Chain A
């Protein structure tokens, strides 16, 4: 899409098609000759991995829908029937349920790679925002999908999350009733969640199309963050990156297969093997691991509405990130201070995940009865989530804008092909000593 097309129809049929619908030209220009920076490392392979995971989830999902029954009386047993009686049903179901986790894992790596190398910055803001839209749709899809097996965690997770909307004043109650189609999560709810779970992946696929389009206008960012300046900086996507992505996909599949074949339930919750029962609440309602950080932010605030707004704010912040970052340097390779904060931020997200997995009143350090501070024990997960949630927002709204204004970045190479510093003499001592080695 950028630059002129080098596609030449080889046969009469191709010429015929090309003058009517230039589909092969489009494919040729986007996945064959597309000029791609030659210095992309393995962190750049997750785009391809994500495309594969989306495709795999859609295919396995369509197959599962052939056997699944979205009715409160049959949903649980129909999933068990898939595991027990349907030919290879256990494989397809394990691929789908663990696939969701793998999809999110790849998405998170993709997003953190983006943050580290500043890929969201101009001229790729729209590309980044489309990615955030995909992420939101993924969260919705995962939530609806988790309800379908109709286990205890499915049911009570749905109750907890749909009740969040009840936090909104005045209209909250009407919204939850509308969403449930009744007065509690019940059969109508399960049915519509199934319908939406089937719909959303195709919307994701649509936005992925836009995402790839938006990628092909400015082209890929790269680990140096420096713009492509000459044809020497790039290689054709095929075969150079098809084979590299292919290798990365294969390694990723090995890890995926370990979960599917040897740890199929490791990422799930035992309570979901108990059929949903509205009269019995599990001791400990937790979402799947990939949503735990947001769950922790939600529960960090004693006020339900504030918690909901803060949780949505955490995602909304991502959308405006391109305008929060004031640094002209894209890649954190040349921003040692920013890099440090980036790793603290990544660690904070993991800490938030741990907080989300624990009851708020649990003690962080077992056996130590910390001092009471305001409304909770200072040694409890509620305070740890508050501190971590605070840093989450501080990182985006304070650290990111200020760093760009005050930090002194290392010298940036002029082109991709000459990653050697152009003025080594002027570089501060010690700065050259820490080149990033990442693939």
Chain B
């Protein structure tokens, strides 16, 4: 190796000048394999380092709740606590649903159709996060001019679809992520 031309190979210890007659492809393969293994090592360590920031077991345990809708009578609502917030589960009457659909294209501050706020075929069940989108007070049902919720704090009025109609709140009452597990059972979150 000492007879390598000076300047042609800056590293005098590098093996694999063609003088040794080694197959160049084979020689590269071992370096590439070592490189890939190094990347794999970094990647294998990186994922635990990244994933540790995802919700931990104790957090996940409190993330979702199941609720039996048969507990709610027509025209009533039940309030349950979910992720630290009150959740309204309301069994709407046909009259309320009709009023909500009628206003689908009224002048709404935060436009949304009633259909987008309940699951298909389950228009009677309205599930909402029960905090006023203004300052987070808990609105009461049955107040205001739209037959829905009325926030006692600053007078925001929501209709029977939970849409903001009057007062200072900027947005409709939030619809959480939920799915029907059976005809009367929902999983929220």
Quick one: which of B83, B85, B133, B135 contacts A282, CB cutoff 8 A?
Answer: B135
Q: State the Cβ distance, A155 to closest chain B Cβ, in Å.
A: 11
* Nearest residue, chain A, Cβ from B130: A279
Interface bits B127-159 vs A (CB < 8 Å: 1, else 0): 000010111111000000000000000000000
Cβ of A177: which chain B residues have Cβ within 8 Å of it? 54-55
User: Across the interface, do A279 and B136 meet the contact criterion of CB distance under 8 Å?
Assistant: yes
**Which of A179, A180, A279, A281 lies in contact with B134, CB distance below 8 A?**
A281
Report which of A179, A180, A186, A278 forms a contact with B85, defined as CB distance below 8 A. A278
Closest to B131 in A: A279
A280 contacts B by Cβ under 8 Å: yes
Chain A residue nearest in CB terms to B52: A181
Is B56 interfacial (CB 8 A cutoff)? yes
B189 an interface residue at 8 Å Cβ cutoff? Answer: yes
- Contact B85 A183, beta carbon cutoff 8 Å: no
Q: Considering only CB atoms and an 8 Å cut-off, how many residues of chain B contact the other chain?
A: 18
Task: Write the B95-137 contact mask toward A (1 if CB under 8 angstroms, else 0).
Answer: 0000000000000000000000000000000000001011111
Chain A contact surface mostly: loop
Note all chain B residues with C-beta closer than 8 A to A277: 136
B63 within 8 A of A: yes
Which of A183, A192, A277, A282 has the most B CB atoms < 10 Å from its CB? A183
Known: A279-B131, A280-B136, A282-B135. A181 touches B85 (CB 8 A): no
Residues in B whose Cβ lies below 8 Å from that of A182 = 55, 59, 63
Q: A133 at the A/B interface (Cβ < 8 Å)?
A: no
A184 CA to B83 CA in the complex, in Å? 8
A: number of interface residues (CB 8 Å): 18
| A residues near B83, Cβ cutoff 8 Å | 183-184
Which of B50, B59, B131, B137: most chain A CB closer than 10 A? B59
B110 → chain A closest CB, angstroms: 12
B55 near A280 (CB under 8 angstroms)?
no
Q: Scoring B residues 37 to 71 as 1 if CB is less than 8 Å from chain A, else 0, what string do you get?
A: 00000000000001001111001000100000000
B56: chain A residues within 8 A (beta carbon): 181, 188
- Whether A178 is near chain B, meaning CB under 8 Å from some CB there, is yes
Given contacts A181-B59, A183-B59, A188-B59, contact A279 B84 (CB under 8 A): yes
Picked from A178, A183, A184, A283, the residue with its CB within 8 Å of the CB of B53 is A178
Q: Are B63 and A179 in contact (CB under 8 A)?
A: no
Closest to A180 in B: B55
Closest residue of A by beta carbon distance from B64: A183
Q: Which residue in B54, B133, B136 is a CB contact (below 8 Å) of A181?
A: B54
* CB contact list, A277-301 vs B, under 8 A: 277-283
Complex Cα distance A282/B137, Å?
11
Closest to A278 in B: B84
CB neighbours (8 Å) of B131 from chain A are: 279
A178–B53 Cα distance when bound, in Å, is: 6
What is the chain B residue whose CB lies nearest that of A189?
Answer: B53
Give min CB distance, A286 to chain B, whole Å: 15
In the bound complex, residues from chain A placing their C-beta under 8 Å from that of B55 are: 177, 180-183, 188
Q: Which chain A positions have C-beta within 8 A of B59?
A: 181-183, 186, 188
Chain A residues whose C-beta falls within 8 Å of the C-beta of B53 in the assembled complex: 178-179, 181, 188, 192
Alpha-carbon gap, A281 to B53, bound state (A): 26
Roughly how many angstroms separate A177 CA and B83 CA in the complex, as a whole number?
14
Separation in Å of the B164 CB from the closest CB of chain A? 14
Which residues of B have CB within 8 Å of A178? 50, 53-54
Q: What would 29 A/B residue contacts be, using CB atoms closer than 8 Å?
A: A177-B55, A179-B53, A181-B53, A181-B55, A181-B56, A182-B63, A183-B59, A183-B63, A183-B83, A183-B189, A184-B83, A184-B84, A186-B59, A188-B56, A188-B59, A192-B53, A278-B84, A278-B85, A278-B136, A279-B84, A279-B131, A279-B136, A280-B135, A280-B136, A280-B137, A281-B133, A281-B135, A281-B136, A283-B134
Q: List residues of A whose CB falls within 8 A of some B CB.
A: 177-184, 186, 188, 192, 277-283
